[in-house]
Structure 1
Amino acid sequence: MSQLQPLIQRQQMTKPLLNVQDMQIWLDKVVAWGQTDSPDTQKDTSLHLKKLSSYLRELLTHINNTSSTSETMKTLPSIGQFLGRLCWNPYVTADDTSRSLLFQCLWGLFSEHPTNAVERKANQWIRKVLCQLTTEEDVVAQALMKSMGIPPEEYHVKVLKKMVASLQEKIVTNCNSLISINQRCSCDSVRATSEACVPLVACPEAAPLIDALLQRPVNCVRAPLSQEFLDAVSSAYSSQDLSLEEQSVLSLWYHSLPSLEKAVLNLLESVFTNSGSTPQKMEEQVAQSLLLKACAQHCSIFLVVNDIFRNFLKQVEANECVKSLIQTFTSCFLREVALMQPQKCVPLKSFFPQSSQSLLVPLLTLPSDIPQEAWRHHLNWLSGSLQRVTEEEEEADGDGSGSTRRQHKVFEAWFLLVQCAHWIQVTVQLLGTSGCEDCGPLLWLLTFYHHPTNRGHNRALQLVHVKEVWDHLRSLFSISAHPFPVDYLQSLVTMLSPQPQQPSASPLLILSLLVNFAVFSQQSLSGSTRILQTVVDRTGLVDEAARILSSLERRLNEGRLSEGTNRVHLRIKELQKALKHMHAEQKPAEKQAHTQTL
């Protein structure tokens, strides 16, 4: 290393010719690289590749400025040995830049019309070495080999594959030889090997070695992968320059937090860019994500993913697309965990350490796992438990003690409710079928889901608005006379079109109640269809109503609905047809309006 320092300093200055001393210093370095295949050698080769490329550029300039090969070999007698040793170094030839410069240097030394024995012997040697640098994908090399009468061979690829296989076997063997987690890992070369792999991450031949490094057992904690390697692999995988096995991708996320964060943000971005997608399509998209399997296998990955969702939701509290994604992801995740072998399962409370343990199991329990007649009792208990949490927050706000901690507790309770929003869907369903019995707990639970904090609104006042909406819908859907009173429908339209600076219930809350009344009430199908069509047409909420219907249909298909199943599904189908017809009619009108505006 001390010998190279003067050389590096000299290379920073412009000089017309190379000298023998420069060549000798680099030759000594290359000879040392070839004497052992130790981790230190691999690391040293990787660290000096850029400086080597810089020197090869100067060497190429020197060759091109010299009159003949004989003259070049007089001034640099060791050039053949230097280039030859580089050609047999798989770490150098695997690097595109270094291999290209080597190729050009050899071509510059080749004499088309040799005039002496030295040049003829050099040509023979160059033909042999060029075979090693040639691949079928290298179009320029193929043309040159053809003109020289040399058959293309993938010599350097074979050497690289052999080297990769050897390192791969060494890593797997050493890691598997561990008896216990306390035993020192004999694979101390892991970090050095990962560093040496950095220039190779885009080489298909190196993929098995990269997979072996990433899939090392977790008990190899004494030999962590280098951050440079993880960053290079993450970048190559993101840009699709590297193909990894499924388990390797999961391991990459486990070892590299930036890579995992990027995968989660990509999923969030896809939801925003496809905001018009149906709940079924969103579930299909989430189910195809490897993040589910990664979260099920590694609790730490789930905690990171959940924390990203948590922080994102704090910023976009009312964004229904994000809330729907969180619920869908949690639901798919729980199914993935259920498929795992019992001995590999982690207790569910480990995945939700910030959630109230008393609320965790009741919320994670699916409605299909509870008899339908017990739903109301279950929801009343959930509502009462959540009310107590919010009351504690309000008391803390009143006396100024521990308000931040209480607010965090309320948020965590609400976040868990968002993750388990299947119970909110059941709540709305029951409110759409309920009579005059006390529905206060259900209304409070629905209000808390849509208005979890007192920021910008008073929770008690919101509950009053929601109760008014529910009473209004019960009255509207109990009317048997047709046509319906205009003032009833107009009042509902006004509720769905809140005025700025005026506190009112969430439009989506009202729309959810409206759709569930249309599906579950005893109002005739024609009457329910007319009410829904009129309201959503005047408010422009056709797409939103269609998504609520689609989500409701999907949940009913998965759960238990013993009473009136055929009737409910028939009403959903007819309501969907009506909304689809409205949507089709709106498109030409929008197009015509756009044309007139232009």
Structure 2
Amino acid sequence: MSVQRVSGAAQEGCLPHALSLTSVLFLHVLPLQLRFVFKAYFPHAPASLATVLSQLPEGLPQGRWLQRLQLISQQLREAVENQPQGSRGGPLQTWFLLAHFGGWADVAAEQLLRSDMDPPAALLWFLAFYHGPQEGAQQRARTMVQAEAVLRRLRELSGSAHLSARDLQALGESSPGDPRSPACTQLIRQLLLTFLLWAPRGHTVVREATAFMAPTRDVTQEVIGFLDQTLYRWDQLGTGASGPGALARALLQELRAQV
């Protein structure tokens, strides 16, 4: 698939989870010695970025994930914002490289939701770019602000004694006074799904909330892709049999039966 075709798909509304799931096969089918010949596939992407992305989360101690994500975000931002106007490849080729290692986006969402500190701007930018590589700097900054507001509300709800699926549905909906781009909608859906899997109170409303979030076949397929990739990564880390893993497997089976 050419960068031009990927660009067209992204303009219509990219599905990073579907692409990154395909990329899991890409990484494990290629012989080990070929995995690092990234210039053949991404000739205009910075070699340093390919190097940091190629070390997958399961290859690092969890205590170093945040540091690695901040480094990836910094290098991504430099690669995207320092490209001359009309340069070959453009942000889409950088995004295509990132999409091959989509597990880092899932880790970023988990880090944002499971940490008590203020959301690092680097991680918000990372996810905003991952879901909307075609967006300009101004729209991406708006996406970051909207995602941070949802994130802070999710942290409040995690300590609430009365969490309902309607609370999460409200967070997932765009309002006329504060419309969201398609990329922002996808990012927030990722945060909501991550919250449902990791927050103990989220487990009590996960099925009802997922039904609200996935009213169409296309969105259901997106959620299936997210769960599939998440379970694969957890299995690689040896955590797939835990409570969130069992919940994700059951939910994945139910959603697949619907499509």
Aligned to 1:404: 86
Matches within 5 A, 1:8-407: 308-317=1-10, 318-320=12-14, 323=16, 326-338=19-31, 348-351=37-40, 352-393=42-83, 402-405=84-87
C-alpha separation between the residues in 2 aligned to 1:314 and 1:528?
34
Q: Which amino acid aligns with 1:551?
A: Q
Cα deviation code 1:536-566 (max 9, x no counterpart): 2667744433332222112222x2155x952
The corresponding residue for 1:232 is none
The one-letter amino acid of 1:526's match is T
**1:455: Cα distance to partner?**
5.2
Aligned length: 255
SS in 2 for 1:354: coil
The question of whether the paired residues in 1 share the 8 Å contact of 2:109 and 2:194 is answered with yes
Give 1:331 deviation, angstroms: 3.6
Output the amino acid matched with 1:494: E
Cα 1:548–1:492 change in 2 (3 A) is same
Q: Is the 8 A contact 2:169 2:213 kept in 1?
A: no
Do the aligned partners of residues 570 and 332 (structure 1) sit closer, same or farther apart at CA in structure 2, a change above 3 Å counting? closer
- 1:467 paired with 2:156, answer no
Aligned to 1:560: 237
Asked if 1 retains the 8 angstrom alpha-carbon contact of 2:172 and 2:189, the reply is: no
1:491 paired to 2:170: yes
Query: Which position in structure 1 is the counterpart of 2:162?
Result: 481
Contact (CA 8 Å) 1:457, 1:503: kept in 2 or not?
A: no
1:521-541 CA-to-partner distances (Å, cap 9, x unmatched) read 2325224444334x3266774
Q: 1:353 to 1:576 in 2, by over 3 A?
A: closer
Task: For 1:368, give the aligned amino acid.
Answer: E
In 1, the alpha carbon distance for the partners of 2:158 and 2:208 equals 11
CA separation of 1:333/1:474 partners in 2, compared to 1, >3 Å: closer, same or farther?
same
Larger radius of gyration: 1
Q: Which residue of 1 aligns with 2:101?
A: 420
Judged with a 3 Å threshold, the aligned counterparts in structure 2 of structure 1 residues 392 and 575 are, in CA distance, closer, same or farther, namely: same
Q: Deviations over 1:271-315 (max 9, x none)?
A: xxxxxxxxxxxxxxxxxxxxxxxxxxxxxxxxxxxxx33111111
2:195 aligned with 1:517, yes or no? yes
> CA-to-partner distance for each residue in 1:27-50, whole Å, 9 max, x for gaps?
xxxxxxxxxxxxxxxxxxxxxxxx
Q: Secondary structure at the match of 2:30?
A: helix
Once the two structures are TM-superposed, the CA of residue 392 in structure 1 deviates from its matched residue by 2.8
TM-score (norm 1): 0.38
Aligned to 2:132: 451
- Tell me the distance in 2 between the aligned counterparts of 1:508 and 1:392: 26
Identity of aligned residues (%): 22
SS at match of 2:2: helix
Q: Structure 1 pair 347/437, CA: closer, same or farther in 2 (3 Å)? A: closer
Q: Structure 2 stretches of 5 or more lacking a match?
A: none
TM-score by length of 2: 0.80
Amino acid across the alignment from 1:575: L
**CA distances 1:245-267 after superposition (whole Å, capped 9, x unpaired):** xxxxxxxxxxxxxxxxxxxxxxx
For 1:536, the equivalent position in structure 2 comes to 213
Q: Identify if the C-alpha distance between structure 1 residues 468 and 409 changes in structure 2 by more than 3 Å, giving closer, same or farther.
A: same
Give me the whole-angstrom Cα distance separating, in 2, the residues matched to 1:522 and 1:510. 19
Q: Kindly indicate whether structure 1 or structure 2 has the higher relative contact order, using CA contacts under 8 Å at least 6 residues apart.
A: 2
Aligned to 1:548: 226
Residues 453 and 459 in structure 1, CA contact (< 8 A), matched pair in contact too: no
Aligned residue type for 2:59 = D
Q: Secondary structure of the residue that 2:86 maps to in structure 1?
A: helix
Q: 1:330 to 1:572 in 2, by over 3 A?
A: closer
RMSD: 3.4
Residue 404 of structure 1 aligns to a residue in which SS?
coil
- 1:573 lines up with 2:252 in the alignment: no
* Deviation for aligned residue 1:327: 3.3
Question: Structure 1 residue 349: deviation in Å?
Answer: 4.3
* Aligned mates of 2:68, 2:44 — CA distance in 1: 22
Secondary structure of 1:506's counterpart equals helix
Separation of aligned partners in 1, 2:232 and 2:77: 30
Unaligned runs of 5+ in 1: 1-307, 394-401, 585-598
Look up the equivalent residue of 2:243 and give its one-letter code: R
Once residues 409 and 446 of structure 1 are traced to their aligned partners in structure 2, the CA distance between those partners, rounded to angstroms, is 18
